[in-house]
Structure 1
């Protein structure tokens, strides 16, 4: 899509959502009075301010107005419901902690969910009529792999992304020399037997993903890659797991978990591709 068209579309969606959110809040205040719930002006202003803050946090976390989310309707819907759910939880927690008004929290939540459901139905109906010319764009890729065979297999697929912006994460600093020209970050080497390092690895992987905000996460394992898949799933990022060629008899434990989380899971052994979500497309070594 042309830059001006994309910017206009993102701005319009953000503006209409902002207006809708305020309408929902004041509708909540109105219906709350029907139940004998009254708020003073300071309380209302504070409530409005926190509503705005929680909405900014939730939409930023799930990239509701990102250019890559706007690019596809299904991504808008996923980001919308993640954002709305997180916003409702934050705002309801605030209302209950300050005023302990469960009726208002319920009314507001119902109005917001209904309002955004209606707005997205309208979006679905009108979007085909706009006929914007979407163009192919490069996605930012975050590639994660542990040292050893996992890293070697990851490098084998990198020629597929030679025209993409790829950032790497692994658990050995010297591997940076094998991906010159690309951003590279390290995380602690972790496994289930090293609880402290595992916690440090979780924190670092989460931090890097929140900081980098990739559009696709691809990994050949093991623990850091699985953590990346999990965080990507929560944030609505596209995720791909490639199970190691060393797992000839069955999927690895991490691969079995990734089956439930990743958008696409690949095995390098044809006889293991017995599940609809498990794909065989050859091997890397």
Structure 2
């Protein structure tokens, strides 16, 4: 029996989550743990994934103006990494995704950042900051791609 990769799929709630869910077919052959900031989204996972395989972790919602909440979010993600030890981290963004990429690098995981489709004029702040920690750094807008990155491989919308 071959071992299946464990993917940690991370995003904030809202549009980032919607885009992450559209990527689900990419990890059909993997064990997946979803991490997000809205407890109600666990129902979405349980509805669409095999109950015995998909994991769900809830972390604190935070943004760049909520420093104490960001620290709490980082600690919660660290606990997830210690417990799960994923081989791959994929994120569509915001603060949880940024922290997940940083931790993914520390834990030796392959890391993928897919910037939000909403950022059509420029890469998001989180996306720009995540660049050094992403093995694959993607934009969903062809005109934002450059030889130094991010790369454009298509959009999820």
State the TM-score, normalized to the length of structure 1.
0.51
Per-residue CA deviations over 1:132-161 (Å, capped at 9, x if unaligned) read xxxx74211000010000000000010121
Matched, 1:264 2:136: yes
Higher Cα Rg, which structure: 1
> Residue 210 in 1 paired to residue 82 in 2?
yes
Q: Tell me which residue corresponds to 1:255.
A: 127
Per-residue Cα deviation, 1:30-64 (whole angstroms, up to 9, x for no partner): xxxxxxxxxxxxxxxxxxxxxxxxxxxxxxxxxxx
Which structure carries more relative contact order (alpha carbon 8 Å, separation 6+)?
A: 2
Q: If each structure's helix is expressed as a fraction of its own residues, which one has the higher value? A: 1
- Aligned match of 1:158 in 8, 24, 27? 24
State the distance in 2 between where 1:246 and 1:275 align.
22
> For the residues of structure 1 that align with 2:147 and 2:60, how far apart are their CA atoms?
33
What is the CA deviation profile of residues 96-131 of structure 1, one whole-angstrom value per residue up to 9, with x for unaligned ones?
Answer: xxxxxxxxxxxxxxxxxxxxxxxxxxxxxxxxxxxx
3-state SS, counterpart of residue 217 of structure 1: strand
Question: Are 2:117 and 1:245 aligned?
Answer: yes
CA distance in 2, matches of 1:264, 1:138: 20
1:67-146, aligned counterparts within 5 Å?
137-146=3-12
Under a length normalisation based on structure 2, what TM-score does the superposition of the two structures give?
0.92
The list of structure 1 runs, each at least 4 consecutive aligned residues, that deviate by more than 2 angstroms after superposition, is none
Structure 2: any 5+ residue segments left out of the alignment?
none
After superposing the two structures, state which structure 1 stretch, 139-148 or 231-240, moved more. Answer: 231-240
Alignment RMSD (CA, Å) = 1.3
Q: Give the deviation of 1:277 after TM superposition.
A: 3.6
Give the structure with the higher percent strand.
Answer: 2
Q: In 1, are the aligned partners of 2:91 and 2:113 still within 8 Å (CA)?
A: yes
Is the CA contact (8 Å cut-off) linking 2:34 and 2:56 kept in structure 1? yes
Q: Secondary structure at the match of 1:255?
A: helix
Equivalent pair of 1:264/1:277 in contact (CA under 8 Å): no
Deviation at 1:255, TM superposition (A): 0.5
Whether the aligned pair in 1 keeps the contact of 2:4 and 2:31 (CA below 8 Å) is yes
In structure 2, relative to structure 1, the CA distance for the partners of 1:275 and 1:255 (3 Å cut) is: farther
- 1:184-236 alpha-carbon deviations (Å, 9 max, x no partner): 01110011211221111010011101110000000001101100000111222
- Give the number of aligned pairs: 151
Unpaired segments ≥5 residues, structure 1: 3-135
CA distance in 1, matches of 2:32, 2:19: 16
Q: Please state whether the residue corresponding to 2:151 is helix, strand or coil.
A: strand
